[in-house]
Amino acid sequence: MSNVSGFPEWLPEERIAELKWLDEIRRVFESYGFCSLETPSVEEIDALLAKGETDKEIYAIRRLHTDDEANEARLGLHFDLTIPLARYVAEHYGQLVFPFKRYQIQRVWRGERPQEGRFREFYQCDIDVINMDQVPLHFDAEMPAIMYDILSRLGVGQFQILISNRKILEGYLKGLGIEDTISAVRILDKLDKIGADDVITQLQSGLGLSRELAARCLALASIRTSDLSFVDKVRELGVESDLLNQGLDELSYVMKELIPLSADAFVADLSIARGLDYYTGTVYETKLLEFPGLGSICSGGRYENLAGAFTSRKLPGVGISLGFSRLFAKFLAEKRLPVGPKCPTQVLVVLPRAELREEAARTASQLRQRGLNVELYHSPVKTGNQIRYALRKGIPYVWFPPIEDGGVHQVKDLQSEEQTPADPTVWMPLH
């Protein structure tokens, strides 16, 4: 029996690398003042479907031995962290301080058919800001700024955070007199995948647009700038609409806050729409330049009314989600992560003889109390075997307690192979 396909698990040395990433992400989220939240893995299926049917496959759960199947609650594992957040905010409304800023690092489940690189259980790292009535645009800029900070620290190579605003595309399409903007947006959203020719063909066949009108749609979706020049480029297309103007103002505001952080990481890309999702303003996608085939590793946007399915209060929000496990698994597979020791141990204390166990244990405890990670070897076997254990686990130092009264402690650096006298009350590792 083995672990189930689509449900990944890592070796100890890989898990250490994963923990480093997760710790770094948490640290950055907290450095911006976001509070941690965890919701149950399980929600009522009606809640999971509250936004309408989803294209995500839900895992339902039920007790294996139930005597009353009909009366079992209809429960399912959450497939994202947004719906649980909406339910949470509606439920605990009176006890939260708004704007409510939370991060959530949790596993989600999707009953995908197992395919190369598709996980059925994986970590997502989300941040969202929810407020009463309205969310200041400042947060639309803060979301990608935080992810920029994180991705730079993780060292995932060059990346671009693509930003648009749904109002631009929708306002423009309306300005062109196109009524079925939803279908048009869905086709334009695929520009990156299917290319310009196919987008034009689909706009013609699917919506009955003229070739010229289809080309004008494409002209907008082709605009990509890492400065504010996208505004002039849109104006040059000669389409007017209030919604379009509003979208341009909002995207300009966001880009203005971001450009000082990086000259090329933030790109106004007017093809971005997050087709099937329920965003109403700013939208984000993130691409790794080295691995474009990985798709967007970090996506999100603004929603006019996040918790509408759970409360009559209007609670708009903006958020972004890092698809952690797919990104981590990719860098692991590409051998781009420093996968080192198999344990967190810094020092292995040798047990020279059974009678010296108490002395050796005292030394280990002394080092531990000073914040070091220390193993006491469990058996008084030959010293060579004890050192071999340290080498196999990637433990950098081996400690030799004195073997006779008045003897001195010694420590061996397994990298340099140097062995020197050391005092357990002050010694610190160099690496």
364: CB partners within 8 A, 6+ apart: 347, 349, 374, 375, 376
Using alpha carbons, select from 299, 270, 275, 295 the residue that is nearest to residue 285.
299
As measured in angstroms, the least distance from the Cβ of 181 to its own copies is 29
For residue 263, the SS3 value is coil
Candidate list 38, 240, 264, 334; residue touching its own copies; CB under 8 A: 38
Candidate list 11, 182, 194, 333; residue touching its own copies; CB under 8 A: 11
As measured in angstroms, the least distance from the Cβ of 64 to its own copies is 4
CA distance 328 to 336: 10
Candidate list 237, 343, 356, 414; residue touching its own copies; CB under 8 A: 343
DSSP codes of every residue in 272-333: ---TTS---SEEEEEEESS-GGG--SEEEEEES-TTTTT-SS---EEEEEEEHHHHHHHHHH
Q: In the range 215-234, which residues lie near its own copies by CB under 8 A?
A: none
Residue with Cβ nearer its own copies (211 or 378): 378
Candidate list 24, 58, 233, 245; residue touching its own copies; CB under 8 A: 58
Q: In the range 168-187, which residues lie near its own copies by CB under 8 A?
A: none
43 binds its own copies (CB under 8 A): yes
344 binds its own copies (CB under 8 A): yes
Query: How many residues bind its own copies, per CB under 8 A?
Result: 89
Residue with Cβ nearer its own copies (62 or 211): 62
183: CB partners within 8 A, 6+ apart: 206, 207
As measured in angstroms, the least distance from the Cβ of 408 to its own copies is 23
Residue with Cβ nearer its own copies (44 or 264): 44
Q: Which two tokens stand for residue 264?
A: 């090329």
Cis omega before residue 421 (within 30°)? no
33 binds its own copies (CB under 8 A): yes
- Residue for token digits 């995500």? 56
Residue 299, strand partner residues: 321
For 173, half-sphere exposure in the C-beta direction (CA atoms, 13 angstrom radius) is 26
As measured in angstroms, the least distance from the Cβ of 323 to its own copies is 17
Q: Which two tokens stand for residue 206?
A: 């699917």
13: CB partners within 8 A, 6+ apart: 339, 340, 341, 342, 394
Quote the Cα angle for 305-138-254, to 5°: 100
As measured in angstroms, the least distance from the Cβ of 85 to its own copies is 11
CA distance 313 to 308: 7
Residue with Cβ nearer its own copies (92 or 211): 92
Q: In the range 348-387, which residues lie near its own copies by CB under 8 A?
A: 348, 357-358, 361, 368, 371-376, 378-379
75 binds its own copies (CB under 8 A): yes
Residue with Cβ nearer its own copies (260 or 292): 260
Answer whether 353's CB lies under 8 Å from 403's CB: yes
Residue with Cβ nearer its own copies (134 or 415): 134
Answer whether 34's CB lies under 8 Å from 149's CB: no
9 binds its own copies (CB under 8 A): yes
As measured in angstroms, the least distance from the Cβ of 3 to its own copies is 6
Q: Which two tokens stand for residue 235?
A: 């104006």
Using alpha carbons, select from 298, 306, 246 the residue that is nearest to residue 272.
298
10 binds its own copies (CB under 8 A): yes
Interface segment toward its own copies; rule CB under 8 A; list 92-100, 244-252, 277-285, 313-321: 92-100
Candidate list 21, 82, 85, 101; residue touching its own copies; CB under 8 A: 101
Q: In the range 130-169, which residues lie near its own copies by CB under 8 A?
A: 136, 138-139
Q: In the range 117-136, which residues lie near its own copies by CB under 8 A?
A: 120-121, 136
Q: In the range 250-309, which residues lie near its own copies by CB under 8 A?
A: 257, 260
Candidate list 21, 148, 303, 310; residue touching its own copies; CB under 8 A: 310
Q: Where are the alpha helices (DSSP H) in 128-190?
A: 138-154, 166-175, 181-188
Candidate list 21, 24, 25, 41; residue touching its own copies; CB under 8 A: 41
Residue with Cβ nearer its own copies (291 or 389): 389
Residue 302, strand partner residues: 318
As measured in angstroms, the least distance from the Cβ of 205 to its own copies is 29
DSSP codes of every residue in 2-36: -PPTT-----HHHHHHHHHHHHHHHHHHHHTTPEE
Candidate list 64, 70, 263, 430; residue touching its own copies; CB under 8 A: 64
102 binds its own copies (CB under 8 A): yes
